[in-house]
Amino acid sequence: MTDLPKHIAVIMDGNGRWARQRGLPRSAGHQAGVKATRKIVEHCVRLQTEALTIYAFSSENWRRPEKEVNFLMELFIKAIGSELNKLHENNIRVQFIGELTKFPDGLLHEIKLATEKTAQNTGLRLNIAVNYGGRNELTNAMVQIAAKVEAGELSSKSITEDVILQHSWLPDCPEPDLFVRTGGEQRLSNYLLWHIAYTELSFTDTLWPDFDGDELDKLIEQYTQRQRRFGQTGEQVQASE
């Protein structure tokens, strides 16, 4: 049996379809999605999960209708504002990963506030991926590394996987053990490309607003039944357990 996952990465997908099934606008689906997110965060606190990384807005989501993008920005501002005290009381350390510069000032303000207020917390690490793209993250890392090489601060020979990780947006988190995507699609959508190289993947048809702690428990239970081999044989892994 594999231990409980220390780091869970989630693609919260299916808000739009959830709303459509109910004859509601997509915005109602996103609102319901915030409630589901709150429940899952609380559940991970109970489980004493070390880190939870959630995909809130991808670098590709700017392609959505302007009305939806604007609604999402407002929703993020409101959600961070209204949840912050509770997150802080729960000893959660909130961080944001992604290219943050493109956001409206109101959102940047909430992001800064949440990050600073919770920086010293020692409980669940909640990483919220906004304007996040895995390729963008790696490109950024490469640009930073190249600049250091140019400046003579780093030699090209000393570029290791760890150096790349240190220039990523998740330099000090354990790698995700479990990846969950709700909403039925079986794709990565540019999420955490570097970090999920050896993550166990789990997909469920449940739409994000319907996803809850019980279902997460089931996926975790399935995860614990898997044997993680990291290139070794099953016998080797068994012998070392």
The residue whose Cβ lies closest to ligand IPE is 16
Scanning residues 5 to 44, which ones bind Mg ion (CB under 5 A)?
13
Structure tokens at 201: 């993947």
Number of chain residues interacting with Mg ion (CB under 5 A): 1
- Amino acid letter at 128? I
Give the SS3 label for residue 200: strand
218 binds, among Mg ion, ligand IPE, none (CB under 5 to 8 A by kind): none
Q: Is 90 considered catalytic here?
A: no
Kindly write out the interface string for residues 59-78 of this chain, putting x where it contacts ligand IPE by CB under 6 A and - elsewhere: --x----------x------
Structure tokens at 155: 């030699």
Q: Is 162 considered catalytic here?
A: no
Give the SS3 label for residue 111: helix
Give the SS3 label for residue 239: helix
**Minimal distance in Å, beta carbon 13 to Mg ion?**
4
Q: Are 41 and 91 in contact (CB under 8 A)?
A: no
Does 56 help bind ligand IPE (rule: CB under 6 A)?
yes
Q: Map tokens 């890392």 to a residue.
A: 141
Q: Are 190 and 11 in contact (CB under 8 A)?
A: no
Q: Which residues are catalytic?
A: 13, 61
Q: Which stretches of the chain bind ligand IPE, using CB under 6 A?
A: 11-17, 55-58, 61, 72, 183, 185, 187, 189
Q: Which stretches of the chain bind Mg ion, using CB under 5 A?
A: 13
